[in-house]
Structure 1
Amino acid sequence: MLVDALVACICIYQSNLRTPLLPAQAEPLPWRLPTTAEGRNPHTKVQVADDRLRFDFNLADRDSYASTDLHFVDSAGAPTLVDLTRYSSVELVAKCKPANSLTMNIPTLDEQFSQRGNLLTYPTPVTYFACTEQGVRNKLSLAHLSIPQWWFDLLKRDIARQTFKLDHVPKIGFGTSSQSPRNVDSYAEITELSLNGRDYRYIAALAVWLMASGLGFAVWLFIAHSRALVASLNSQLKQDLPFMAYRQLTLEPYRDKEKAAVLRFIATNYANTELDLEAVVAETGVNRKKVNELLKAELGLTFSTYLNKLRLTEAARLLADRGSATVAEIAYSVGYANVSYFNKLFKDEYGCTPKAFRSLTVPPGDGAEPAPETATTD
């Protein structure tokens, strides 16, 4: 359980993705600012440091906008498309002067109608976030981006087709909105910029580990229980030796002739299915009450309990010998005419069925592990 808990903590921790986008060359998603040829926004002066992205701007009229784009690049510095489907949100701290409402846009290539390299033809879902002079932390859900109407109008696309997939993303852009102030020197500063998500491969690995661990524990528990049961059954067999009929007949003769007669008669005739207390009384001449008193004093058992003990113990010995006799044949040989009744009494006595007992116990003189018994029809 401790190992499982440790593995669960590690997998859950590793499954939480957090990919920083600052500084600009941070792995695994390095980026660069656009060049002049790529259309750098003329209203924006951009400054990049290791821990922050800042752009200064002054919007002259309502149609003006300011923005900065983070173009993803490969290891050689060439533009590339990246897959952001593993991520669920973008987290950042936004600080502006004056307070402002900014946008984040993420264009993504659509293989059906986008023209590679022409970003205007890429669906560009957008979201808005707050920005104050004191700084505000924003967590922007990538599942709640929406493609603006102007893009559908410009490309004459069906506005109802709002679906997109962030699997071929060339850049992430940040810019002003329609509510940004005009004719005033402004700046926006973004820090602690990161992509967050969940890598479900670790969750799947955890599920596989827990299933394998549970199965291993179940197997271990079954083996341990089987070994404990084998040890218990063999121990009980040894403890029951004094009750076995063939042992009882070799005991030193009792001085009490009535006691000796009763014990010898039962030990000799226990396998008789007709044997009962009345038969013992008739054969030995000892009255009914005296028979029970003798057995109670000598063995601490009543007549019926002692008779069942003899029969079941002898049945256990025969089963442990692993002879060719079936369970039904053994039941008949020790005095039980009803096999179901024998099975019930045997399970009450030994905690398992006769078949299970035969496969679990070690034959006398055999120190090897018991092999599973081939099932027979009783």
Structure 2
Amino acid sequence: MLKFYKKAFIFFIALLFITSSVGYLSVKTTFLQSQLIPKNTSIFPWHTQIGSDAEDGGQSTVNIIDSLFSLNFNIKVSSSVQYPVAMTELVFEDKTGQWSYVDFSRFDSISFSAKCEPENVLTFALYTEDDQITNVDDKRSYRISTSYFSCDQKWQDFNIDLTRLETPEWWYKWFDHELSKKEYNLQKTARLSFGSTIQSPKDVESNIHINNLQLHGRDWFFLYAFAGLFACIWIGSIVWLHREYTKALLSDLKAKIQKDRPLVAYQQLTMEPQKNKEASTILRFMATEYANMDLHLDTMVQEIGINRNKINEILKNELGYTFSAYLNKLRLTEAARLLSTQKSANISEIAYSVGYKNVPYFNKLFKLEYDCSPKKFKDTYLT
């Protein structure tokens, strides 16, 4: 059995290592995280573009300071028009540098750190294609989905839910679109922007600094696939180990029974004639009377006329057992034989038949001798 236990231990450690490694990769794949800023870490190529109210006659300005390691820009919102606008956009592009849609459907939130000087209320906007309205040549025809955040001179962390952005009412009015149709298509995202709001300071230059812009999402397929696959692998492994254990146990028990069985019948002796005669008497008596529940060392002394010290001495020298140990060996060996051949007999019947009055005591001795309970022994042998 030791060989089986070593094999099972190595198998278990290997399976645990593989499960942990694949589980880690599955969790990492399930919980998506994609960097947009710094720019060299982004999986989505993009370039910056400024937007303002200049085309509507306004005088708002935007000046980009850094767009490689962070998004750092100054805006000056003019009060010369009713609805002034100043913003910096991240326009997505393909490998050739041409604008292109990107798929944000795997992501459900975007996070970033920001600080503003002076204090400001800003807008985050996502521009996506609307099947009924968008004209690729008209920048304003993209559906605008927005969220707002306020910042000051200290760095703050923000997290915006991409699935719950709001489209401003003016966009619906501009394109005569139903207010109830709030859905937007993250699979076709053209750009995103950070810019001013109606509460931004007017006619004052403001600095806006955005850092560590990241997309977050969840794709449960990998985690579900991992759970299903490794549940099957673990169940299959347990079944396989149980079968291997049963085979190893059966082999071990057969070897043990084969080794012990000759003790029931006879033991070859190497003594002088007188001692040989006494030993034969002892072995013959125990071989025929071991099933007697009332057999004790004292009753044996009375029956065969050999004193107790002599009995123990002969058994110890010839077999390596005391009287009690050899008696148990005989009884348990016969019990094992009956368990392996008598399908209809129950454990109690066999315990009584080999000389035990106490079934729990028999179970305890049997388990010590064969490393398994009588029931397990019987089930293994007769399966």
TM-score if structure 2 supplies the norm length?
0.64
Q: Tell me how far apart the structure 1 counterparts of residues 33 and 352 of structure 2 sit (CA, whole Å).
A: 76
Question: Which residue, out of 64, 69, 77, partners 1:58?
Answer: 77
| Conservation of the 8 A alpha-carbon contact between 1:318 and 1:330 | no
1:206: Cα distance to partner? 5.5
Q: Distance in 2 between matches of 1:181 and 1:79?
A: 32
Tell me if the contact between 1:97 and 1:187 (Cα under 8 Å) persists in the aligned partners. yes
Give the equivalent residue in structure 2 for 1:157: 178
1:57-87 CA distances to partner (integer Å, 9 max, x unpaired)?
3322442222233222222333332221322
- Tell me how far apart the structure 2 counterparts of residues 254 and 121 of structure 1 sit (CA, whole Å): 118
What does 1:288-303 correspond to in 2, within 5 Å? 298=315, 299-302=321-324
User: Which residue of 2 is the match for residue 365 of structure 1?
Assistant: none
- Paired AA for residue 178 in structure 2: R
Residues 314 and 334 in structure 1, CA contact (< 8 A), matched pair in contact too: no
Partner residue of 2:127 out of 99, 107, 112: 107
Distance 1:167 1:95 in 2: 30
Query: What does residue 21 of structure 1 align with?
Result: 36
Question: Could you give the per-residue CA deviations for residues 176-225 of structure 1, whole angstroms, max 9, x where no partner exists?
Answer: 11101223344434343332344546645664686477558747865785
Q: Does 1:93 align with 2:113?
A: yes
- Structure 2 residue identity aligned to 1:94: A
- Number of residue pairs matched? 346
Displacement of 1:175 in angstroms is 1.7
The answer for the alignment partner of 1:246 in structure 2 is: 265
Q: TM-score, normalised by structure 1?
A: 0.65
The question of 1:312 aligning with 2:332 is answered yes
Contact 1:100 1:181 in 2 (8 A): yes
Which is worse superposed, 219-228 or 186-195?
219-228
Unmatched runs of 5 consecutive residues or more in structure 2: 1-15, 316-320
C-alpha deviation, 1:129, in angstroms = 1.9
- Structure 1 residues 276, 12: CA separation in 2 closer, same or farther (over 3 Å shift)? closer
Return the structure number with greater helix share: 2
Q: Does the 8 Å CA contact 2:40/2:68 hold for their aligned counterparts?
A: no
Q: Matched residue of 2:287: which SS?
A: helix
The structural deviation recorded for 1:128 is 1.1
How far apart in 1 are the matches of 2:130 and 2:253?
Answer: 72
CA distance in 2, matches of 1:251, 1:334: 33
Check whether the contact 2:118–2:207 (CA below 8 A) recurs between aligned residues.
Answer: yes
* Contact 2:31–2:216 (CA under 8 A) maintained in structure 1: yes
Q: Deviations over 1:235-293 (max 9, x none)?
A: 75477457x221248786763977754541342466xx8x5548x999x9935998988
* Contact 1:102–1:175 (Cα < 8 Å) also in 2: yes
Residue 230 (structure 1) shift: 6.0
Superposition CA RMSD, Å: 5.1
Query: How far apart are residue 169 of structure 1 and its match?
Result: 1.5
